[in-house]
Amino acid sequence: MNMLESKVIQTRFEKEIFIDKKSNIVINGFRSLDKSTSYYEFKIGLDLIRIREDEYYGTKKSYVSIRISEDLQSLFIIEPEIQSIFAVKNKQEKEAAIELIRYLLVESQSFKHMVTDMINNLKKENVFTGLEMKELKVKLAVLERLLNVSDEEIHFKVLRENIA
């Protein structure tokens, strides 16, 4: 029997269930260093099953933004503007979401397999310019860093940034 790992966030209105498999995780929105930022950033999307009043209520995709310092030593969790995993949650519910994110980054084998697949796919890409090569190397370094994250390196700054 193949048992899947799952995590549940109990909110006032429903249970949000994350089943730990690659198809329920996406990484996108990669942003590299530039003149205005001193960090790398990307989003992780998680498919969550919703249960209300003991009935299936559908699924939703929730996101969290991850920032990695320029030296690749620290990871910061930032609340994205839309579809945030922290949206409309009280303090205890946000703590459960933090526990889920910590699990994903540190322990989830599905996440690590997905990152490994992304690394292998990037290594097969054809690049033609020096700029493309530089961007590819940066993405590879950031993804390789995600394979060895420890609890101590994660800094939770659950906040929504004002972009104005």
DSSP assignment of 60-94? EEEEEEEEEETTS--EEEEE-SSSBTTTT--HHHH
Q: What mean pLDDT is predicted for residues 116-142?
A: 91
Confidence category of residue 1, pLDDT binned at 50, 70, 90: low
Q: Which residues contact 60 (CB under 8 A, 6 or more apart)?
A: 16, 47, 48, 50, 83
pLDDT in tens, 43-58: 999 999 999 999 999 9
Q: Which residues contact 154 (CB under 8 A, 6 or more apart)?
A: 75, 77, 101, 102, 105, 106
**Beta-carbon neighbour count of residue 116 at 10 Å?**
14
- Give the 3-state secondary structure of residue 46: strand
Residue 113 has pLDDT above 70, yes or no: yes
Confidence category of residue 34, pLDDT binned at 50, 70, 90: confident
CA distances from 96 to 2, 4, 76, 99 (A): 25, 19, 17, 5
Residue 114 has pLDDT above 90, yes or no: yes
pLDDT of residue 163: 40
CA distance 40 to 97: 22
CA distance 125 to 70: 24
pLDDT of residue 162: 42
- Give the 3-state secondary structure of residue 117: helix
Residue 29 has pLDDT above 80, yes or no: yes
pLDDT of residue 164: 37
**Beta-carbon neighbour count of residue 23 at 10 Å?**
9
Residue 4 has pLDDT above 90, yes or no: no
CA distance 7 to 16: 8
Confidence category of residue 18, pLDDT binned at 50, 70, 90: very high
Residue 25 has pLDDT above 60, yes or no: yes
Confidence category of residue 26, pLDDT binned at 50, 70, 90: very high
Q: What mean pLDDT is predicted for residues 18-30?
A: 95
